[in-house]
Every structure is written in C-alpha cells, then in structure tokens.
Amino acid sequence: MRKKLLATVVGTAAVLAASSMTSAQELNFDEYRQMLRDGNPAELFEMEGEELWVTARGPKNATLEQCDLGLGPGVVEGAAAQMPRYFADTDKVQDLESRLMTCMETLQGIDSKEIIDGRFRQGERGKVAAIVAYVTGQSHGHKINVDLSDPKVKDMYDLGEKAFFYRTGAMDFSCASCHSQDGLRIRATGLPNITTPEGAAEGWGSWPAYRVSNSQFWTMQHRLWDCFRQQRTAEPIFGSDVTIALSVYMAGKGNGGEAVWPGVKR
Ligand code: HEC
C-alpha cells in the first residue's frame, strides 16, 4: 500500500489527486504528509523558475540576474527567508512577489499591471509563481528572519495584525476565526494557529506549495487570495499592501522557525 502510494506521488501527482482521499484516510496523516514531501513535484516549478531567472526576456530583453532581493543584486540564496523587507529604491515593504514585479518591470520592462490584472497560473503571473518556486527553494531549511526592528516593517506588521483580526464579509469572519485555535485540521491539511510563533512559522514557512489535490503550484499571494475567498470577503488585489501586511505579520510572528519551501500540500 505504502509503496504503491509513494510510486503514485513520484510518478503522477494528478493520479494521486484522484485516489488520495481513500488512501489518505487509511493512513496516519503525518505519515501521508511525509510521503508527499519525499516526492515534491514543486521541483519542476523550481527548475522552470531558475531557467526564467537567467533567460533574457521582456521589451528590454534582459535576465533577472541583477535583481536585488535585499541581499544585493543577483543574490538569491537565503533572500526569501528575510522577506518581506523594506526596499529603499521603491520606498516600500515588499514581499517576494511584489519585489519580483519590481525587478521584472525595471530590468526587463514587463509591465506589473499585466501581473496585477492577470490570472493565477497564467501568463506573466504564472511565470512569477515559477520564479517564486526557484527563489524560495534557495531558502529551504533557512530560518525565517524578518527584520521587525525596521520601523517600516514593524508598521506593516502592526497593520497585518489588525487585518488578521478584522471581522468582515457576509459571515463576519476574520482570519483568526479559522486560524487561532490549536489542533484544527481540514482534510489532510493542518490549520495552524497563526497567532502563535509555531503556527505562524508552520503556515508561512510551508507556502508556496505544490497542491497534490489539484496538481497546482500556489504562491503565498495565491494562498491568501483563496483565504479571502474562504472568509467570504472582497478579492484582494495581487501584491497589494494588505496582502503584504498579512505576510509580514505571519512571517514576523514565525521568526526563527524553519522555512521548508517550496512546500507540498494535499
Ligand atoms: C473560513 C475559514 C478560513 C478563513 C476565514 C481564513 N482561512 Fe486560511 N485556511 C483555511 C483553510 C481551510 C486552509 C487550508 C486550505 C487547503 O489546504 O486547502 C487555510 C490555509 C491557510 C494558510 C496555510 C496554512 C498551512 O500550514 O498550510 C495560511 C497561511 C492561511 N490560511 C492564512 C489565512 C489568512 C491570512 C486569512 C485571513 C485573510 C485566512 N487564512 C482566513 C481556512 C480559512
């Protein structure tokens, strides 16, 4: 049984999506999650992203190799673990996705509007996701290390905390309605208590992730978009301040925890 499921995971995740629920129910969920990690198809996205990083593209026909993710132009290793962070050139606290938009626009001439108004997994926004897979993979195993001593980052943390507890929408839910209790689980996905350092590190440190159930790779922007939807509230604008503030809150609270990027989820 175990061998069979493992082979399915490594082989075709799509097949697993169809068969996983019955198999998973017979398994211990921790064991199931470990097996998923052993054959994470996110590697394919990492490879695509690495290729995109070094490929000359856009109206300016340039690569992303001079992109500054906070540790200097072109430094990728460990950079994601220290994001979101404040960038002087844009005078903004940026998460990885919004920073990549800046690099793509300034270096390659790719209009951010195309990404902001685009759709997940398609066009330039889809390419951003692959690059996110590559960049976060270069922080795999690093400790989450967001600089809350920077006042601009701290401001965003405070805003993110407010947003996290802000009740809105038809159901009057906040993020906290679903993410402030220990030991919750929906199907095979643990619902971490994001108001604790351990839970915040678990949530922040495991996205972006490959989702076996639909064979899709989702960045944190995509994860948040879906949670806004679960909260029955207005769709957030891609890369907007509220999404970045929520990320700063989760990352900052999770400081010191381990990033297992890219993750793999049911
Ligand atoms: C109605 C309940 C609900 C609300 C409200 C909600 N979420 Fe979620 N959240 C979920 C569920 C369910 C999952 C797991 C989804 C899955 O794997 O399909 C999840 C997953 C997550 C994860 C990933 C956790 C992990 O370890 O994989 C993060 C981070 C997260 N939510 C953040 C938020 C934030 C921030 C908000 C507020 C904007 C929010 N959520 C609002 C239900 C909710």
Average pLDDT, the chain: 89
What's this model's pTM, rounded to 2 decimal places?
0.88
- For residue 55, the number of C-alpha atoms closer than 13 Å in the C-beta half-sphere is 10
CATH of domain 43-137: 1.10.760.10
Q: What integer is the mean pLDDT of 97-120?
A: 98
Tokens of 216: 């899709």
Please say if the pLDDT value at position 50 is more than 80: yes
d(CA 104, CA 98): 10
Nearest ligand 1 atom to the CA of 263 is 27
**Whether the predicted pLDDT of 173 surpasses 60:** yes
Nearest alpha carbon to residue 116 among 244, 238, 256, 31: 238
Given 3.40.50.1950, 1.20.272.10, 1.10.760.10, 1.10.1520.10, which CATH number is that of 151-265?
1.10.760.10
Distance 70 CA to ligand 1 centre (A): 28
The pLDDT confidence band at residue 23, using thresholds 50, 70 and 90, is very low
**Short-list 208, 191, 236, CA closest to 80:** 208
More confident residue, 58 or 39: 58
Percent of the chain predicted with pLDDT > 70: 86
Of the residues 67, 103, 175, 227, only one is catalytic, namely: 227
CA of 2 to the centre of ligand 1 (A): 29
The mean pLDDT of 110-131, rounded to a whole number, is 97
Digit-coded pLDDT (tens) for 24-49 = 455 566 777 677 667 788 999 999 99
Under the banding of pLDDT at 50, 70 and 90, the label for residue 170 is: confident
Integer Cα distance of 175 and 177 in angstroms = 5
Of ligand 1's listed atoms, the one at least distance from the Cα of 173 is: 5
What does the pLDDT read at residue 201? 97
Q: In the structure encoding, which two tokens stand for residue 113, read together?
A: 């509007």
Determine whether 147 is exposed, middle or buried from the number of CB atoms within 10 Å of its CB (0-12, 13-18, 19+).
middle
Closest CA to 247 of 71, 95, 70, 69: 95
Q: Is 67 in contact with 128 (CB distance < 8 Å)?
A: no
Angstrom distance (rounded) from CA 95 to CA 81: 11
Pocket perturbation via mutation, ligand 1, pick of 178, 187, 235, 244 by most ligand atoms within 8 A of CB = 178
- Ligand 1 is surrounded, with C-beta below 6 A, by 173, 175, 177-179, 186, 189-192, 202-203, 206-207, 223-224, 227-228, 230-231, 246, 250, 265
The residue type of 192 is P
Handedness of CA 248, 112, 219, 238 (dihedral sign): positive
Mean pLDDT calculated for residue range 80-84: 98
Between 1 and 230, the higher pLDDT residue: 230
CATH 1.10.760.10 maps onto the chain at: 43-137, 151-265
Per-residue pLDDT tens digits for 145-163 = 999 999 999 999 999 999 9
Q: Which structure tokens are listed for 96?
A: 């990885």
Spatial CA neighbour of 192 closest among 140, 50, 204, 74: 204
**Closest protein CA for atom 2 of ligand 1:** 178
Q: Is 227 a catalytic residue?
A: yes
Q: Which atom belonging to ligand 1 lies closest to the Cα atom of 209?
A: 27
**Residue 187 confidence class, pLDDT cut points 50, 70, 90:** low
Among the atoms of ligand 1, which is closest to the Cα of residue 266?
17
